[in-house]
Amino acid sequence: MVQKGKICNWFIMVVLVGVGGACGQDAQKKLNQSTQSMRTCADDQALTRTEQEKIRQQIHADDKARQIEEIFRQKVRSGLNGNVLVAQKGIVLYKHCFGLGHFERSQRDTLVDDSKFQLASLSKTFTAVGTLKLIQAGKLSFEDTIQKFYPDFPYHGITVRELLSHRSGLPNYQYAFDDSMKVNFYKREKPYPSNATIMHWFATVKPTPQKYNIPGRGFSYSNTNYMVLASIIEKVSGQSYESFIHRNIFEPLGMHQTFVATTKNDSINHHRTAGYQWNRRIPKDYYDDVVGDKGIYSTTGDLFRWYRALNGDCLLPKKMLAEAFVPRSFERKSAKNYGYGFRMMLNETNQPEYIYHSGWWKGYNTMFWFSPKDEYVIIILGNRYNTTVYRVKELIDILHGNSSDQSAETDAEVEI
């Protein structure tokens, strides 16, 4: 059934976060001010019923909702199992839950609005913004190298800027080490590796140069970049990655259903889904506790809040947040590009027409796609592997009123 559009009423809690006394009071003040600025995303943005109805008529909301529903029904027939939300100009055009959070007979449960999905690489958007918040606060610099925080890291000359834009040349940690490093896993012993474990492995094993490229030479997507950024966040803030992101992003924005996988807060297990390949549940992965590149669980409703924050004065000064949406890789001609934690589709002047990030991790598929110009967002979270999650062209055509000539190539790149 088509859901009536409504805008989220945002009750924003302001949290003053301590991030280590060694960095100085001025920098701390900047970070607190940045967090306080999230007040601008509060309830005063809610539209009145009259305003909502006016916008609904302007964008032909009911007609679009009917078409969007049919597209998702087709996706369900093709195997989609998950939650979806599509909104334009602050109006939720369509949201629905399709399928189950768990497929085992003893745990069969229908998906609900608060069902939590592993975001996979969509988690990188939060790591990027967390990094930018520390830069804005003066606690971190784009030109800082990894060695400033991890002196024993074996590869030199890699800056925070290059980590953010996937231009470090670092090998993917998931494939950089031989199985001798995983001895505890094969013995079925805990703990599973953390970010600190992986950073230690790099310092002691030093993966072969053949798996390493010169920093800044070109774009090479690697989960290691965002694992390292999360580790730097921990060093700079004096907090765990989970604590920093929760206190500086989730809590101030009212994203109360969003957690990092490593949290000890048992609320993460309320309506938490499991990932599946077909109907086979995928067990806990060896690298599930490594975060920053993945590891955040969220809901479609909380991601709508995230979209609103990214398009308002909620997170950072506009000039700083705009850095995330600047394309930074032109080695090969393509309409697709990458900024700081966000992918984008470029127009003829090499400006972002669409901004997005997709993800895949152990049965989970995610898509977060928005248009700054036309003010819409598409959020699709799936927990049973299905590539229709990444196919958004038909939805984009509908949101453009079936008149867009910009969506000829809009299937997202899939990276874990």
Tell me which of 144-148, 172-176, 183-187, 234-238 is least confident: 183-187
Mean pLDDT of the chain: 87
pLDDT of residue 181 exceeding 50, the answer is: yes
Are 190 and 182 in contact by the 8 Å Cβ rule? The answer is: no
Quote the pLDDT of residue 179: 74
Beta carbons within 10 angstroms of residue 283's beta carbon = 10
pTM of the model as a whole: 0.88
- Encode pLDDT of 374-409 as tens digits: 999 999 999 999 999 999 999 999 999 864 444 445
Strand partners, 355: 344, 370
pLDDT of residue 241 exceeding 80, the answer is: yes
* Best CA proximity match to 204, nearest among 154, 168, 170, 147: 154
Phi first, then psi, for residue 92 (nearest 5°) are: -75, 110
Return d(Cα 43, Cα 12) in angstroms, integer: 8
- Encode pLDDT of 269-324 as tens digits: 999 999 999 889 999 999 999 999 999 999 999 999 999 999 987 889 999 999 99
Say if residue 252 is preceded by a cis peptide, omega within 30 of 0: no
CATH 3.30.70.270 given to domain 21-399: no
Q: Domain ranges in the chain?
A: 21-399
Burial 240-277 (b: 16+ CB within 10 A, else e): bbbbbbbbbbbbbbbbbbbbbbbbeeeebeebbbbbbe
The residue among 85 and 6 whose pLDDT is bigger is: 85
* pLDDT (mean) for 340-344: 98
Q: In what order do the strands lie in the sheet with 259-260?
A: 117-118, 296-298, 259-260
